[in-house]
Structure 1
Amino acid sequence: MYVVIRKFNNMRSVAEAARRAESGIGQVLKAAPGFRGYYVFDGGGGVGGSVTFFEDRQTAIDANEKAMVWLKASLADLIDGEPEITLGEVLVAMTPEG
């Protein structure tokens, strides 16, 4: 499993970005093959971001490219600068079921 983390340090409204993401890029990601989960977080003080999980590395890379296009087109009024992006293999995954 692979994870993509996007962190924005200067957002005007994390709540509004989350609302738009849920009905926008969230739906695109949900339809992607190998999609495992998408979470948006508010770190406080204008910091926000997302964490997305995929089955494999290539799917994660492809989805991140789609997300970046969507972000620039749909959130330009809410973000300053580029996000910090981290993509990597998940080495440990724990859930309440396992």
Structure 2
Amino acid sequence: MYVAVRKYAEKAALMGGLVPRVSDGFVPVLRRAAGFKGYCAFPSEDGHAVSVTIFADRPSAMLAEDRHREWVVSNLRDLLPNPPEVTGGETLLHEVSKIQRNGGSGMFVTVRVYEGVGPREEVLPLVREHVFLTITGAPGFRGYYAFFDEQDASRAGAVSLFDTRQNAMQANERVVSIMRERRIAPNPPTVMLGQTAIVAAA
């Protein structure tokens, strides 16, 4: 699996205008792309418009990237004139439970980005043993994707999907505590979270 997280800084207030255009125009384009697995978009509570795309593998994701960029420039230039900040990479761990095929507000998303993470061969076993089981066994769990950013090997990301904000926040607190206690990541993560405005799956 390959995950890409796109952050459009300080554009959360525009989500209402983005939803119909993206749902009716962009989501069908994504669904036709080879290897497409899932997509969601949400206004983060700290004020950004954020999207997460999931593909079967990196080659499929890279082929779709050009379409993504072209569609946004052609259809959303008035709302999103600047390119997003992108963090992405091939998943090291992932699990899915009851992802909705369509819908809007059905899930709560948490994106955590850790800076200064150690070598993957040291970090991955710890994440698998302690974090992965905590997330996937938590109440309301819907999905989890962990990856190293392909642009920076010292940056790691995780996308968690839950049924409600309450369950997401409880799981997030446990995970951040585990990451600190086990010294998996030396610094607190940057966190973006919010209720989904768009959800689509293959």
User: Which residue pairs with 1:66 in the alignment?
Assistant: 67
Deviates more, 1:51-60 or 1:6-15: 6-15
Give the CA deviation at 1:46.
Answer: 4.3
Q: Which aligned runs of 4 or more in structure 1 are off by greater than 6 angstroms?
A: none
Pairwise CA RMSD of aligned residues? 1.9
Cα displacement string for residues 40-96 of structure 1 (whole angstroms, at most 9, x for unaligned residues) = 111146410210111110110111111111111111111242101122011111223
User: Which residue pairs with 2:2 in the alignment?
Assistant: 2
Alignment partner of 2:82: what SS? coil
User: Which residue pairs with 1:20 in the alignment?
Assistant: 21
Seen in structure 2, the aligned counterparts of structure 1 residues 79 and 50 have a Cα distance that, compared at 3 Å, is same
User: Which residue pairs with 1:57 in the alignment?
Assistant: 58
- AA matched with 1:61: M
For 1:72-87, what aligned pairs fall within 5 Å after superposition? Answer: 72-87=73-88
Higher relative contact order (CA 8 A, sep 6+): 1
- AA matched with 1:24: G
Deviates more, 1:41-50 or 1:66-75: 41-50
Over the matched positions of the two proteins, sequence identity in percent amounts to 35
Alignment partner of 1:82: what SS? coil
CA contact (8 A) 1:9 1:48 kept: yes
Alignment partner of 1:18: what SS? helix
- AA matched with 2:73: K
Deviates more, 1:9-18 or 1:48-57: 9-18
Q: Would you say how many aligned residue pairs link Structure 1 and Structure 2?
A: 98
Cα displacement string for residues 16-63 of structure 1 (whole angstroms, at most 9, x for unaligned residues) = 112211111111011111110011111146410210111110110111
User: Which residue pairs with 2:35 in the alignment?
Assistant: 34
Give the TM-score, by structure 1 length.
0.87
Deviates more, 1:33-42 or 1:11-20: 11-20
Mapped partners of 1:57, 1:43: distance in 2: 26
- AA matched with 1:64: E
CA contact (8 A) 1:14 1:47 kept: no
Q: Which entry has the higher C-alpha Rg, 1 or 2?
A: 2
